[in-house]
Amino acid sequence: MPVIKHVGRAVSQLLQSSGCGCGVSILPVRCIGVSPRQVASDASFHSVSFAETDHPRVLITGGLGQLGVGLAKLLRKRFGKNNVILSDIRKPADNVFYSGPFIYADILDYKNLREIVVNNRITWLFHYSALLSAVGEANVPLARAVNITGLHNVLDIAAEHNLRLFVPSTIGAFGPTSPRDPTPDLCIQRPRTIYGVSKVHAELMGEYYHYRYGLDFRCLRYPGIISADSQPGGGTTDYAVQIFHDAIKTGKFQCNLKPDTRLPMMYIDDCLKATLEVMEAPAEALSMRTYNISAMSFTPEELAQEVQKHIPELEVTYSVDQVRQAIADSWPMNFDDRNARRDWGWKHDYDLPELVTTMFSFLGADSRIAQAN
């Protein structure tokens, strides 16, 4: 795979700049050691089914990104601390390392990943390793290796060992020819970023493995995710996180998208809740393998106005990043998530006012807000 020869040198710098827990290796990729025909015959021998255990045994790849740590915390409360293993190729912070099991896992090293699944009797796998939209466009060969080759490794291991596999998708899986307002679960998908292309690939491969090999594949298309405990990591929707940090620190925010750019968004607690709910849903309740989920939809201008209710002196300016703007203009404005709400009871808790209040509460903006008031 010639693409891998050129990506190793860029890995360390890219990971440091993007904040992405992408789980990419600087080592050559080991060839996949199982053929599709072996999957069905070997699965029953190697697997430990969920029904045979009190709780699932969980592995989270790319766990040091925006969602992995929060998901591990939620799952450990539900299934027990030692039943949830967080993994990445980066060194975790002390608070993460001591909060529960952590292991080095390289998704591009098939043998290493397979050993982790076998040795830890994993039954559920959450595959979060990926390069995000803007970061992926800056290094397409690396994004192709992480987002596609890594996925293939995970799919084969999950099918071989009869795992329940969750792979997140994204609003970026749609393109400029998709219906944008609203965007249904099933429609034309022609994304124009390597991130989006790789996620469509993941959706289709997961569905194929489900129908061909019986893999219990589950996928949610996330909107833009907003959280207080992570820094922006190279995503097109990261302005909606940055505004809170800048409002508190400097009282000035420069947005890299146009003020009227409408995108679907979600607070991280809703995102993690939806992820757990779809994984726990009975298989017979699922009418499809990939669902849209949504909570709210807003523009940078609308978000800024809500933030200014808490910090009236916030100054907002716009300096449009043409790359990110072009990406945003090709994405949905609103998600149609009626199928998720019907099939497994999805219901969000946070709208825009609750989101803003919660973000300021977590980020410790009380002193600035009190002065403003």
Q: Indicate whether 265 belongs to any domain.
A: yes
Query: Please, what is the average pLDDT of the chain?
Result: 86
- Whether pLDDT at 25 is above 60: no
339, part of any domain:
yes
Overall domain count for the chain: 1
How would residue 53 be classed by pLDDT, with cut points 50, 70 and 90?
A: low
Q: How confident is the model at residue 341 (pLDDT cuts 50, 70, 90)?
A: very high
> What is the per-residue pLDDT across 201-215, written as a single tens digit (0 to 9) for each?
999 999 999 999 999
Please state the rounded mean pLDDT for residues 326-345: 95
Residues recognised as catalytic:
195
216-222/315-318 β-pairing: unpaired
* Domain-embedded: residue 73: no
How far is 162 from 40, CA to CA, in rounded Å? Answer: 9
Domain membership of residue 266 (yes or no) is yes
Give the CATH number, domain containing residue 297.
Answer: 3.40.50.720
Side by side, the strands of the sheet bearing 263-267 are 224-226, 263-267, 296-298
User: How does pLDDT run across 102-124, given as a tens digit for each residue?
Assistant: 999 999 999 999 999 999 999 99
For residue 350, give Cα distances in angstroms to 262, 296, 332.
18, 8, 20
Check whether 371 has a pLDDT greater than 60.
no
Does 324 reside within a domain? yes
Entry pTM: 0.82
- For residue 231, what are the domain limits? 130-370
Please report whether residue 121 resides in a domain: no
Is residue 279 domain-resident?
yes
